[in-house]
Structure 1
Amino acid sequence: MGKVGILTEKPSAARNFATALGGMSGTFGGTEYVIVHARGHLLELKDPSAMVPAPLTDKYKSWELEHLPWNADDFRWEREIRRRVSGGKLITDPDAKSLLLELKTTLSGCESICNAADLDPTGEGSLLGWEIVEYLGLENKKLERMEFLDETPASLRKAFTARRPVTAIAAEGDYRKADFRSKWDMLSMQFTRLATKTTGASTVLRNGRLKSAMVVIVGDGLDAHNGYLKKAFYENRFRDENGVTYTDPDVDRFENENDVPGGLQSSPVVHDGTTRKKTGPPKLMDLAGLSSLLAKKGFGAKNVLDTYQKMYEAQVVSYPRTEDKFISIEQFNELLPSVDAIAGVVGVDPAALSHRGPRTSHIKSGGAHGANRPGPNVPPSLAAVEKAYGELGREIYELLAKNYLTMLAPDYEYDQHRGHVEKYPSFVGSLNVPAVLGWKGVFVVEEEDGGERDEQPTGVTALGTVADPFVHEGFPPRPPHPTMEWLMKQLEKRSVGTGATRTSTYAEVTNNSGGKALMVEQRGKITLSAIGELNHRILPGTHIGDLTITEQVFEQMAQIEAGTGEAADYLSLVADLVRRDLETMKANARMLSGELTARMGKAGVTREAAEMIDLPPKLHFTHAGTVVTRAKRVFGGHRFTDTEVAALLAGRVIEIVATSAKSGKTFTCTGKLEPGVRDKDGKQYPHVSFNPRFEERAPRTDLVSGVWKGKPVTFKGRGWGANDHWPGKDFTEQELEKLLAGETIEFDATSKTGKTYRARGALAAGTYQGSKTFGFKLKFEDRKSTAGTKKRTVRR
């Protein structure tokens, strides 16, 4: 058997193959091999104008609407790649030229070429490898495909032995579907041109299958949240002496408290019984869920992707781009011997992981890479993870590991006590009393919930004996403010993309390099940028702004992979989508009034003429003979919605999220339209405008000041490390003296879970998410837990 050339996706994969097979070249199982690597996608489709016949070049360069839609048949796709003469693909960067030359030299000397790129749900790995083979003109050699679930030595050796022969590149279903998707996405550039030209914007309004849907979902969510009117309702309820509430689901609700009928009397409570109930552990995470939790801590999606990829390459975590929500029994058994070590790293008592058998809710057959989870290489400590991958790496590992370990803990169990009011049996109540902490003792993520929930009294173990009537004041739940977690759940409900795809697209639309971000994220909360807002207002009713487009494309990809559909037929359908969206966007643009002249600057959208609100007579303001009859519709980059305008014109206070022109940071404020007079250049200018109000903050009493290393400093000196289990540490005068002298101190502290440990640390300066920090920092390597477990510090 001749030499096999193994083409891997990236240098780290080549190193892992070398570890598994015994070197970058050699013989394994009687087969001679040599390992080479790409660096991700070395090739990409050219600009549309370079992929059509010369007479059409100017048409496909133009952004004018008269040249849309494009004709997919005008593009020279495959035949240009095979000619490699002004081909359909180009090299992504100059450095790749020498790498491609090296690949051709090495692979030309092999009898067969094996595509060993990643096995992706969308076929990207297959496309990455085969497009290189095609570009180098090596498609006529003997071809093979290697498929593996992860890059552990055992998996790679098994994959090498089980190499699959490939009759022709075009016969590979995963290649065909990925190739189709890349072409469809290139044709979707038309929607970007549509949105940009119909609004008259000078900055590109980026659109695409997932980008546009995200803008629509977030924009509609913001409208619903900002347009919420807090209107109270009143109804009769009962409450017993233990604080348990009894409600009638069919009781009448009233707008005025005085309209609620009285006459109800106190009554004994009838206990209807107690039932032991159980809930299983949460499902395994994907990258979108993981990134959503980290966003709340200030970590951006792109940094999460980059750091996770580095950790995967070292086999500290599992494959990133999986679409699986479960793992196989083989994957479960492979990680089972490492469970105690993983638990020790993240401070979980192995004794709490008593459910060591496979759960059918988490372990199933039919997957590929399996859900995101810890990798086979268990780090010695969280401090070691932080040293190698930074604070973000530490957070990734701790969240991922604890989420995985919940699967090995018992169910959470509680006793549900049920009862009703004797004189009014339609009023029923219940009380849930924890019985077995189970997996909740390992890891719990608080779910975002915008609904109204009856509070369960704390510390109560039984229903009361007598219930008293009262009038309850309630409010319809306010639609939640969009967050990354909320957005990802909307997309997951529609089964759109993998967790990694959703995360990478989110990273793209929140990336503000060049001032082109469509969304602004602040610790997980999302608002639309000025550009995103304009895009949101041009997208209603369009196909590109509807998630069904992505669903259709993925269905077409499945048909192409199965051989029951042709890419050319599906690509020809894009023109009609563009044609219809053009008319819809034109209609939407006509409703933008003065904003058709919008121009994008560094801070977003600026208008040649500010959009105004016509004020009713009662809000007109007269000063020195000047009558003000209009107010600006935009404050701090926020354009008031129609619902907000109606509230403002009614004199009501509303809450908005605005953007600081100086810092570019978002902030939340309440306010209403109010008159005022502005002095400028010795003249007075009367106006009516949105007047923001900010809650006054009480002066902080937890800070102390001093001199550290010759510089004045201020830091948290009282209540350090406070949580639900202890009030925190107040440093004594002696301890403060030592800290300011640069010395290390020790004291007993309590973790978030209530466990005690011996804290040891000193004052230190640092940075967090680009901002400078200063305060008491624990020394992780010296930290000793008095409860026998390791627990990460709470950064202050």
Structure 2
Amino acid sequence: MGKVGILTEKPSAAGKFAAALGGMSGTFEGTEYVIVHASGHLLELKDPAAMVPAPLSEKYKSWDLAYLPWNAADFRWEREVRRKVSGKKLVTDPGAERLLGNLKETLSTCETVCNAADLDPTGEGSLLGWEIVEYLGLEGKKLERMEFLDETPPSLRKAFLSRRPVTSIESEGDYRKADFRSKWDMLSMQFTRAATKLSGSDIVVRNGRLKSAMVVIVGDGLDAHQGYVKKPFYENRFRDENNVTYTDPEIDRFENKSAVPGGLESSPVVHDGTTRKKTGPPKLIDLAALSSLLSKKGFAAKKVLETYQKMYEAEVVSYPRTEDKFISIEQFNELLPLVDKIAAVVGVDPAALSHRGPRKSHIKSGGAHGANRPGPNVPQSLADVAEKFGELGKEIYELLAKNYLTMLAPDYEYDQHRGHVAKYPSFVGSLNVPAVFGWKGVFVIEDDEPDDDDAPSGAKALGTLAKPFVHEGFPTRPPHPTMGWLMKQLEKRRVGTASTLTSTYAEVTNNATGKALMIEKRGKITLSVLGELNHRILPGTRIGDLSITEKVFEQMAQIETGTAAAPDFLALVEDLVRHDLEKMKANVNRLPAELKERMAKAGVTRVPVENITLPPALHFTHGDAVATTAKRVFCGHRFTDSEVAALLAGQIIEITAISPKSGKPFTCKGALEAGVTDKGYPFVGFKPQFEERPPRTDLVSGVWKDKKVEFKGRGWGANEHWAGKDFTEQELAKLLAGETIEFEAIGKSGKKYTAKGALAVSTHNGYKNFGFTLKFDNRTPATKPRKRKVSR
């Protein structure tokens, strides 16, 4: 048998194969081999205008709506070397070009080319490998596919020995479905062109299956949150001396307190029994969930992806873009000897990890890379991780490690006490009392769900006497969209894989060039002006319909099994575009005037250039010309005639403008002054003058770990629900000594709870912050309220 060329997806995969087979080249079990690798997708589809006959090229290059929709049959569907942005130009990626040359040189010497790229639900790995083979003209060689459960040495050796012959690239179902998806997504460029041209935007209004879904979900969520009306309801309830509430699931609710029937009396509580219940540890978090948790600490998804990739290359964490939610028994056994070391790094007591056997809920056969988890290279400490990968790296490792370790801890156990009111047995109550913390003593993911105001704090049993009261409640306000909330919505609708969701989210929230569709601040999401424009354009469109991805995936499945052909489904995009053009036209005609104003102020649509004629004293030389004017618009604010007169008279005026970066209004004072741009060009224009902030009175200072520090010591944690915590002199002394303190706080329901914390370094928006950090509180986990009918 001749030499086999093993084509892997990336350098790290090549390294895994080399470790399993005994080197990057050699002989294994009598078969000569050589291992080569790509670096992700080295190829991409050409621009539409380059894939059609020459007479049609201008039509497909143009953004004129008269040329939409496209005819999918016009395309030759050709790939070229991937491109990258260099300066402001899109150029061929020289690294990809060199790598393709090396691949051809090596694989040309092989009798057989074996595609050993990843296995994944969308077939991307198959496409990545076979498109390279096709582009390099190697499809005439003997072809094979290698399929492996994971990247442990036994699995890779087994996969090498059981390579599957491939008769032709087109015969591979997973290649066909992935190829179809890439072509469908290229055709979806039409929706972007339509939205951009119809809206009159000077910035590209990006659309696609996933981007549009994100905009629709977030936009609708914001509408629901902002449109919430806090309208009270009233109903009869009972409460015992232990603060346990008893409710009747079928009781009527009333809009007025005076309408609630009276006559209820205090009554003994009947204890119906106690049941010991258990819950197993949470599933392993994927990249989307990890990024969502970190977004609450101010880390952008783009930075999470970049940092995680560096940590993966150092084998500190596992492969980032996995779609697996579980790990294999081989992967479990690989990390088992390292568990105590990992636990020591993240401060978990190894004695708490007494469930060292595999759990069926977490360990399964199948998959490839396994779920996100710590890697085989265990760091010395979290400080060591922070030194090599920054504060974000430390946060990533701590979250991944603690989440992984939960499955090695016992189940969480609690006693559920149930009871009812003796005189009114339809009123029932329950109390959950923790018995064995188990995995909850290792790590608990913070939930976005609101606290239940009626959850008792510190109670160990039901009371003996229940007293009636009229409860005032409010419908639950729809939550403000967060990254975690968005990812859950997308997961419910099967819109995209975890890694694709994260990378797309990073793209639509990246405002480096002012083109973000969404703005994220500590996890909370709002729409940018461009995103709001897109949200108002999408209603009724097919590309804005969340079921479009489900339909595309159904078509992919049929193409994979050979029951349908890609050209038939690609031809259907034409009708989708035709339909959406009409819907978008109608939606644009209904855009609110307020949104149009915001678009102009934010520079989404072009604002006519207006100038102020300067007096001779303010004329300045620019090159060989004398400049005699200044701009009349500053950050979207057009100076009124009276403001212009005041500025020309040398006066200071106050205006409200719009930040071009955040899209939010701000107030400032300023005057006409001469200045120099960042590029060194002279100008005269409005120069804002921001007042200095008054000195803070909530800060205290001292020495912590031999360093002078300053932190918030008064009003810590103040929010709309409580006034905050003023630390006493004794507490401040303990904190500066590095000790953990315990104090009583008041939750949003007005109930007291115990909180513990210490001074620590945290991170916000990539910057280190120092101050008091809450480590623990004893509030009871929230429970979801039951729905009841309302009587009017």
Structure 2 length normalisation: TM-score?
A: 0.78
Answer yes or no: is 1:769 the counterpart of 2:765. yes
Tell me if structure 1 keeps the 8 A contact 2:701–2:711: yes
C-alpha distance in structure 2 between counterparts of 1:563 and 1:494, whole Å: 26
In the TM superposition, what are the counterparts of 1:427-438 in structure 2 within 5 Å?
427-438=427-438
Work out the CA distance in 1 between the residues paired with 2:232 and 2:38: 62
Q: How does 1:35-114 map to 2 (within 5 A)?
A: 35-77=35-77, 92-114=92-114
Distance 1:97 1:223 in 2: 47
Letter in 2 for 1:539: L
SS at match of 1:486: helix
What are the Cα deviations for residues 565-597 of structure 1, in whole angstroms up to 9, with x where unaligned? 211111111111111111111111121265897
- Give 3-state SS (helix, strand or coil) of 2:355's partner: coil
Once the 2 structures are TM-superposed, how far is the Cα of residue 230 of structure 1 from its aligned partner? Answer: 0.7
Question: Displacement, 1:92?
Answer: 4.2
Give distance in 2, aligned partners of 1:735 and 1:422. 50
Provide the residue aligned with 1:195 in structure 2. Answer: 195
Structure 2 residue 714 is the aligned partner of structure 1 residue 715: no
Q: Name the residue aligned to 1:402.
A: 402
- What is the TM-score when the length of structure 1 is the normalising length? 0.77
In the alignment, structure 2 segments of 5+ residues that lack a partner are 82-89, 609-634, 637-655, 673-692, 719-724, 744-753, 774-792
1:13 is matched with 13
Moved more, 117-126 or 90-99: 90-99
Deviation digits for residues 268-292 of structure 1 (CA, Å, limit 9, x no counterpart): 2222222222222212211111111
SS in structure 1 at match of 2:238: strand
Cα deviation, residue 249, structure 1? 2.1
Could you tell me which residue of structure 2 aligns to residue 245 of structure 1?
245
2:481 equivalent to 1:482? yes
Show CA shifts across 1:105-160 (max 9, x none).
Answer: 22212222222323232222222222122111111112222333444444444433
Decide whether aligned partners of structure 1 residues 604 and 286 sit closer, same or farther in structure 2, where only a CA change above 3 A counts: farther
Is 1:166 matched up with 2:166?
yes
Matching residue's letter, 2:523:
G
Distance in 2 (CA, whole Å) between partners of 1:772 and 1:399 is 18
Aligned to 1:565: 564
Tell me which amino acid in the other structure corresponds to 1:582: L
Q: Contact between 1:322 and 1:498, CA under 8 Å: does it hold in 2?
A: no
Count residues with an aligned counterpart: 683
**Per the alignment, in what secondary structure is the counterpart of residue 592 of structure 1?**
coil
What is residue 468 of structure 1 aligned with on the other side?
A: 467
Q: Matches of 1:731 and 1:427 in 2, distance apart?
A: 47
Distance 1:731 1:528 in 2: 46
Determine what percentage of the aligned residue pairs are the same residue.
72
Whole-Å Cα distance in 1 between the matches of residues 699 and 367 of structure 2? 52
Deviations 1:337-386 (A, max 9, x none): 33333222222222222223333333334444332222333333323332
Secondary structure of 1:207's match? Answer: coil
Question: What residue number does 1:387 align with?
Answer: 387
More displaced, 696-705 or 264-273? Answer: 696-705
> Aligned partners of 1:355, 1:447: CA distance in 2, in Å?
25
Decide whether the 8 Å contact of 1:196 with 1:205 is kept in 2: yes
Aligned to 2:525: 526
2:236 aligned residue? 236
Q: Does the alignment pair 1:214 with 2:214?
A: yes
**In 1, are the aligned partners of 2:246 and 2:429 still within 8 Å (CA)?**
yes
CA contact (8 A) 1:519 1:528 kept: yes
Aligned-pair distance for 1:521? 0.5
CA distance in 2 between counterparts of 1:261 and 1:751 reads 44
RMSD of Structure 2 on Structure 1 (CA): 4.0
Change (3 A) 1:580 1:170: same
| Alignment match, 2:341 | 341
- Counterpart of 1:172, as a letter, is E
Displacement, 1:178? Answer: 1.3
Aligned residue identity for 2:658? A
Distance 1:750 1:10, change over 3 A: farther
Q: 2:503 & 2:246 partners in 1: Cα distance?
A: 47
Which residue of the partner structure matches residue 377 of structure 1?
A: 377
| 1:435 aligned counterpart, secondary structure | strand
Structure 1 residues 481-534: Cα deviation after superposition (integer angstroms, max 9, x where no partner): 001111111111122222111111111111113211100011110000000000
- 1:186, distance to aligned residue in structure 2 (A): 0.2
Gaps of 5+ in 1: 83-89, 610-635, 638-658, 670-677, 682-695, 737-744, 778-796
Distance 1:153 1:755 in 2: 47
Alpha-carbon distance between aligned partners in 1 of 2:322 and 2:379, rounded to the nearest angstrom: 22
User: Residue 628 of structure 1 aligns with which residue?
Assistant: none
- Tell me by how many angstroms 1:50 deviates: 0.6
SS in 2 for 1:515: coil
Q: Secondary structure at the match of 2:250?
A: coil
User: How far apart, in 1, do the equivalents of 2:466 and 2:428 lie?
Assistant: 11
Superposition pairs of residues 266-285 of structure 1, within 5 angstroms: 266-285=266-285
Between 137-146 and 586-595, the greater mean CA deviation after superposition: 586-595
- 8 Å Cα contact 1:115-1:144 kept in structure 2: yes
Aligned match of 1:574:
573
Taking the aligned partners of 1:255 and 1:176, their CA distance within structure 2 comes to 59
Change (3 A) 1:401 1:751: farther
Match of 1:619 in 2: none
- CA distance in 2 between partners of 1:201 and 1:663 (Å): 15
Q: Which amino acid aligns with 2:574?
A: A
* 2:510 equivalent to 1:515: no
State the distance in 2 between where 1:383 and 1:215 align.
39
- Give the CA deviation at 1:189: 0.3
- Counterpart code for 1:350: P
Say whether residues 1:555 and 2:576 are aligned partners.
Answer: no
Contact 2:324 2:368 in 1 (8 A): yes
What letter matches 2:103 in structure 1? L
SS in 2 for 1:449: coil
Structure 2 residue aligned with 1:294? 294
Give distance in 2, aligned partners of 1:666 and 1:314: 39
Paired with 1:577 and 1:158, the residues of 2 have a C-alpha distance of 46
Residue 25 and residue 580 in structure 1: after superposition, are their counterparts in 2 closer, same or farther (change >3 A)? Answer: same
Q: 1:703 aligns with which of 692, 700, 705?
A: 700
From the superposition, tell whether residues 131 and 392 of structure 1 become closer, same or farther in structure 2 (CA, over 3 Å).
same
- Give the counterpart letter for 1:204 in structure 2: V
Instruction: Give the corresponding residue for 1:453.
Output: 452
Q: Which moved more, 1:477-486 or 1:391-400?
A: 391-400
**1:629 corresponding residue in structure 2:** none
* Counterpart for residue 542 of structure 1: 541
CA distance in 2 between counterparts of 1:729 and 1:6 reads: 67
Q: Is the 8 A contact 2:9 2:40 kept in 1?
A: yes
Q: How far apart are the structure 2 equivalents of 1:714 and 1:346?
A: 25
Q: Is contact 2:509-2:517 (8 Å) kept?
A: yes
Q: Is the 8 A contact 2:600 2:606 kept in 1?
A: no
SS at match of 2:2: coil
Which AA in structure 2 matches 1:512? N
- Residue 359 of structure 2 aligns to a residue whose secondary structure is coil
Q: Structure 1 186/600 Cα, relative in aligned 2: closer, same or farther at 3 Å?
A: farther
Do the aligned partners of 2:233 and 2:473 also contact (CA within 8 Å) in 1? Answer: yes
Q: How does 1:657-696 map to 2 (within 5 A)?
A: 661-662=658-659, 664-665=661-662
Alpha-carbon spacing, 1:720–1:38, altered in 2? closer, same or farther (3 Å): farther
- Provide the residue aligned with 1:503 in structure 2: 502
Which region of structure 1 is more displaced relative to structure 2, 347-356 or 582-591?
Answer: 347-356
The 5-angstrom pairing of residues 780-795 of structure 1 reads none
Contact 2:242–2:462 (Cα < 8 Å) also in 1? yes
Quote the residue 2:616 is aligned against.
none
Q: Which amino acid aligns with 1:287?
A: L
Cα distance in 2 between the residues matched to 1:733 and 1:423:
52
Distance 2:728 2:155 in 1: 50
SS at the partner of 1:343?
helix
Task: Report the CA distance shift for 1:574/1:599 in structure 2 as closer, same or farther (over 3 A).
Answer: farther
CA distance in 1, matches of 2:665, 2:263: 44
Closer, same or farther in 2 for the Cα pair 1:552/1:323, shift >3 Å? same
Contact 1:264 1:469 in 2 (8 A): yes
Contact persistence 2:318–2:375 (CA under 8 A)? yes
2:641 alignment counterpart: none
